[in-house]
Amino acid sequence: MQAYEVIGIFILFILIAIPVVLTILAFIDYFRSRTEKKSVNITLRRAAIAAAGIFAFCLIDAFYIEPFMLSVTRLNIDSPKVNGEGIKVIHLSDIHFEKNSKLLNKVVENTRKENPHIICITGDSHYLSDYNEAEFNLYLTEFSKIAPVYFVCGYDTKDTILKASNNTFEFVEDTVKKITIDGNSFAIAGLPMMDVSFDKSIFNENDYNIILTHMPDLLDEVKGSDTDLYLAGHTHGGQIRLPVWGAILTLCKTGKKYEYGHFKFGQLNAFITRGIGLEGKPAPQARFLCPPEMVVINIK
């Protein structure tokens, strides 16, 4: 366990302990006032009620509200390599499909409304077990009706995704796929999740070069190459975030360095998305300060 994880868990424990301790102290004070016939400590009672109320609100939000509140994050990128009106890219990750839902249908509806040129999916499209395969197959094919879909795997597998999409998705791990959109040349490469190095010679400097990978771990390796856009997920943005501190866990070698969001290094833009779904059980089926996210990227 990394140091940031220990600190984050400790902070979370303290935040949970505060309303519990205050409530216990308030009850002790109440029973003491009854037995000793003294007045109740009003300040302590109010503090306990306030802390318990805030804690209850946070629990309701984390388990019953926020996991179903899809947010759309927009990123505008200017590049001398792209002329004309540019292209629109939809980035999705960590769908963790179990069964169809209003949230997942909203992802499809929003993608359709955006009318993108391409869709990029960066792994963990379904739970590793206990998911409705028939519904999953129907769900994935909806994306290929909208735009070409390029994907890499996380803990899911190439064969599962290709089968589910009726072979309409294109698997780009360990390869470079070149496409032309409105006269602009793009190269899309996929890096396997467990890669520990990056070959900087795979790209042509004249193309707009996009890397799809599941984790942010290779981002430092990619810096200084001809890569223009790095898209990844895996972290879920922490899934449970604390005010100021951010993610408690990211399960990445890079820790909190690239836990979530947009990073820019010269010509290289990187986006690490919060993803759509939830980590599989027994992890808490909750999100806090970290709603599901689809990313719309306009490159001009």
**Residue from 5, 122, 73, 9 nearest 292 by CA:** 73
Q: Are 95 and 279 in contact, with CB atoms under 8 Å apart?
A: no
- Cα of first residue to Cα of last residue in the chain, in angstroms, is 42
Q: How high is the pLDDT of residue 34?
A: 85
Given this model, what pLDDT does residue 12 score? 95
Distance CA 242, CA 240 (A): 7
Determine the pLDDT at residue 83. Answer: 92
Nearest to 29 by CA among 14, 18, 45, 15: 45
Please tell me whether residue 201 adopts helix, strand or coil conformation.
Answer: coil
Provide the pLDDT for residue 36.
Answer: 83
Q: At what angle do helices 133-144 and 102-114 cross, to 10 degrees?
A: 10
Per-residue confidence of the chain (300 residues) as pLDDT tens digits? Answer: 788 899 999 999 999 999 999 999 999 999 998 888 788 899 999 999 999 999 999 999 999 999 999 999 999 999 999 999 899 999 999 999 999 999 999 999 999 999 999 999 999 999 877 899 999 999 999 999 999 999 999 999 999 999 999 999 999 999 999 999 999 999 999 999 887 789 999 999 999 999 999 999 999 999 999 999 999 999 999 999 999 999 999 999 999 999 999 999 999 999 999 999 999 888 899 999 999 999 999 999
Please give the biggest Cα pair distance in the chain: 85
Q: Which two tokens stand for residue 238?
A: 């922490």
Rounded CA gap, 236 and 283, in Å?
13
Return the bridge partners of 90, or none: 119, 296
169-171 and 176-181 beta bridge pairing: unpaired
Q: What pLDDT shows up at residue 115?
A: 97
Two tokens at 260?
Answer: 């979530």
Supply 10's token pair. 């400790």
Instruction: Please give the pLDDT value at position 93.
Output: 98
